[in-house]
């Protein structure tokens, strides 16, 4: 029940941010990544793969996309503004960060997939 409530709250947060920003603008504008503690990012990466966390991993394709986004955060790369806004509040909570990333990926199927180098310029 708590998982369903958290997922609903995350979905509502994202919908409100998207509405305020004018829709998909949240995914097209790239901004600097929020700075994360490497331990938090590492834990989220392990959660996405199911490695020694006791956490049920998501389906393989979704887990790979979470890994891609976590890699972007870890390297401090530019990320979509909507993603940066959504995850900024989860800096010290790997479970919340994982939930926010998963919600983002469920709502935006293209997010987290590898892109060509030209897409980032």
**Domains: count for the chain:** 1
CB 82 within 8 A of CB 27: yes
CA distance 41 to 69: 10
| 37 token code pair | 């503690």
User: Using one digit for the tens of pLDDT, what is the confidence trace for 35-85?
Assistant: 888 899 999 999 888 887 777 788 888 889 999 999 988 998 988 888 888
**Residue span of the structural domain in which 38 resides:** 2-120
Residue 82: per-residue pLDDT: 81
Residue with tokens 């929020």: 34
Stretch 81-102: mean pLDDT, rounded? 87
Helix (H, G, I), strand (E, B) or coil at 17: helix
Residue 70: per-residue pLDDT: 92
Residue 20: per-residue pLDDT: 55
Number of Cβ within 10 Å of residue 79's Cβ equals 21
């Amino acid at each position: 029940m708590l998982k369903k409530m958290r997922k609903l709250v995350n979905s509502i947060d994202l919908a409100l941010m998207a509405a305020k920003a004018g829709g998909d603008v949240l995914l097209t504008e790239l901004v600097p990544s929020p700075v994360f503690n490497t331990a938090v990012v590492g834990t989220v990466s392990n959660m996405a793969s199911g490695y020694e966390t006791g956490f049920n991993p998501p389906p393989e394709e979704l887990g790979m996309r979470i890994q891609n986004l976590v890699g972007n955060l870890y390297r401090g790369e530019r990320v979509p503004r909507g993603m940066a806004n959504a995850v900024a509040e989860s800096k010290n909570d790997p479970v919340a960060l994982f939930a926010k990333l998963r919600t983002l990926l469920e709502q935006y199927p293209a997010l987290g997939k590898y892109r060509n180098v030209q897409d980032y310029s």
